[in-house]
Amino acid sequence: MTPLHQELKAFIVATMNLEDIAADDIADDQLLFAEDGLGLDSIDALELVLALKKTYGVVIEANDEKSRQHLRSVNSLANLIEAHRRQTG
């Protein structure tokens, strides 16, 4: 786990107000929007996308299959942010 992964886990817990979940309890590959994962819903997705844009500068388009893949897990979010950082220098 990289520092970005740990940062993202804490970010998700804080942004989504997940009071019953600790950042350390989230696996890097755990599904964010599945019942057997964190169980986030579409409203959570909107909040998360806005918070990611504000905090990390990444833009995730709505209703795009690629967007769903970016929001799949902490791993996929970290990959997106790292790619964004490489592109923007």
CATH number of domain containing 67: 1.10.1200.10
Question: Buried b / exposed e across 60-70, counting CB within 10 Å, b at 16+?
Answer: beeeeeebeeb
pLDDT at 31: 97
Dihedral of CA atoms 59, 32, 11, 24 in degrees, nearest 10, equals -150
Q: Residue 62 sits in which domain range?
A: 3-88
- At 28-86, the pLDDT tens digits run 999 999 888 999 999 999 999 999 999 999 999 877 788 889 999 999 999 999 999 99
Is the pLDDT score of 23 beyond 90? yes
Q: Which residue has the tokens 């696996």?
A: 27
Per the rule left: phi > 0, alpha: psi between -120 and 50, beta: everything else, 39 is: left
Kindly report the number of other CB atoms within 10 A of residue 28's CB atom: 16
Element (H, E) at 81: helix 74-88
Look up residue 63 and give its two tokens.
């209703």
Is the pLDDT score of 1 beyond 80? no
Total number of domains constituting the chain = 1
